Amino acid sequence: MSKKVAFLQGNEAAAQGALYAGCNFFGGYPITPSTEVAEVMSAELPKIGGKFIQMEDEIGAMAAILGASLAGSKVMTSTSGPGLSLKQELIGYGCIAEIPCVIYNVMRGGPSTGMPTGPSQSDVMCAKWGTHGDHPAICLTPASVQETYEEVIRAFNLAEKYRTPVMVMPDEIVAHMRERIVFPETGEIEVTPRKTPTVPPEQYKPYDTSFGDVPPLAAFGSGYKFHVTGLNKMQDGFPTTKAEVVQAEEERQVRKVDANIDDIVTFEEYQLDDAEVVVVAYGSTSRSARYAVNAAREQGIKAGMFRIKTFWPFPDKQIKALAAKVKGFIVPEMNLGMCALEIERNAQGKAPILGIFRVDGEPINPDQILEKIKEVK
């Protein structure tokens, strides 16, 4: 039997990916350019007995998904820049209380209202540093409709596996363009279930590290009663200010991602084997970069692309290795140099970094990248 094929928008694919992953609760608030996700979810979720709710604001939508996740649902919300800023308070709550959830954020121009229909990649730092305090961050940056579908599924899997909020951040071009998508068969892509307790309710602690850095999470209403708070907490979920406990818990929350970087970080190496000039790109910008790399190769320049699929945790190890052997990096991005700073941090002066930074709401075209590639001597 041939696979089901469709011609979909990135946002529609995101909704379909969520459904494949078993999402059964969506809390949203209208915002351009991500609203299509909420529209599809409002139509599809009730068909499978799932729940869709349009909340009174972005914060409310984030709160609703966290509440629903604690009640055992697999949850997602969608938003864009200004909404992401508003959600930061409760993204932090999700991190400290360790509540699995997926935040799908379409990157548009900013700051503030910026350019609601213009593409951008300027939320990538917000994904890691937006909420206050030390916390883990996982952020995926898909570059096509197919990949958006698959990365939303992976985001659900990572959220459950590591019991933490996970962000998927396509830029507006990826979110709104239409492409052919091939749907996987049921069961073809693995879906990670939530790790629930094996101990009886009276022995259950929501942050019991005897089960490892990612403790099992019971659901409200499943026979387990426990306490959840946004305060620094002990293993039983109750607040504490005991220095050694707070230190250990904070470190564990970050460690559960940092110690598993190789499991989380994904990337594509394109023409890198003999590359002397490496374009580091992500999202729709990587599509122009691929074209530019091909054009450069035709002109005899040994160019390649390192395409970031997982923006956070950042592929430090891979960039460090490349920095030791290449003549230079080209970093095209639709912001004023956010990824470039990460490359600089990892290159440690071993290779020059040439940026192409656009914040005018226009995509970066291949010619711009090709010209920069030629500048590397």
Partner 1 sequence: MAFDYDKWVRPGKLPHIWCPGCGHGIVMKGLIRAIDTLKLEKENTAIVSGIGCASRLPGYMDCCTLHTAHGRAAAFATGVKMAKPEMNVILVGGDGDGTAIGGNHFIHACRRNIDMTYIIMNNYIYGMTGGQFSPCTPTGHKASTTPYGNPDPGFDIAKLAIGAGATFVARGTAFHANQIDKLIAEAIQHKGFSVVEILDDCPTTYGRRNKFKSVIEMMNRLKEVAVPVKAAEKMSAEQLQGKVLTGVLYKEEKSDYTSEYAKVIERAQAGK
Q: Using CB under 8 A as the criterion, which residues of the chain lie in contact with partner 1 when the complex forms?
A: 25, 27, 43, 46-47, 49, 51, 53, 55-57, 59-61, 63-73, 75, 89-90, 93, 201, 219-231, 238-239
List the one residue out of 158, 156, 160, 140 whose CA is nearest residue 148. 140
Closest distance of CB 224 from partner 1, Å:
7
Distance from C-alpha of 308 to C-alpha of 125, rounded to nearest angstrom: 14
169 contacts 60 by C-beta, under 8 angstroms = no
E strand or H helix at 6, and its extent?
strand 5-9
Burial class (CB in 10 A: 0-12, 13-18, 19+), 133: exposed
E strand or H helix at 157, and its extent?
helix 145-162
The 3-state secondary structure of 237-251, one letter per residue: CCECCCHHHHHHHHH
CB nearer to partner 1: give 66 or 106.
Answer: 66
CB nearer to partner 1: give 30 or 67.
Answer: 67
CB nearer to partner 1: give 190 or 202.
Answer: 202
Closest distance of CB 88 from partner 1, Å:
11
Closest distance of CB 333 from partner 1, Å:
32
Closest distance of CB 311 from partner 1, Å:
26
CB nearer to partner 1: give 227 or 374.
Answer: 227
130 contacts 100 by C-beta, under 8 angstroms = no
CB nearer to partner 1: give 66 or 167.
Answer: 66
Closest distance of CB 63 from partner 1, Å:
3
CB nearer to partner 1: give 73 or 80.
Answer: 73
| Strands 5-9, 178-182: pairing kind | antiparallel
**Does the bond joining 215 to the residue before it have cis omega, within 30 degrees of 0?**
no
Closest distance of CB 49 from partner 1, Å:
6
Name the token pair of 59: 């914060």
Distance from C-alpha of 194 to C-alpha of 133, rounded to nearest angstrom: 26
CB nearer to partner 1: give 93 or 104.
Answer: 93
CB nearer to partner 1: give 19 or 173.
Answer: 19
Closest distance of CB 233 from partner 1, Å:
10
Q: Which residues pair with 5 in a beta bridge?
A: 182
CA distances from 110 to 51, 115, 336, 346 (A): 31, 6, 11, 27
Closest distance of CB 229 from partner 1, Å:
4
334 contacts 171 by C-beta, under 8 angstroms = yes
List the one residue out of 218, 208, 267 whose CA is nearest residue 238. 208
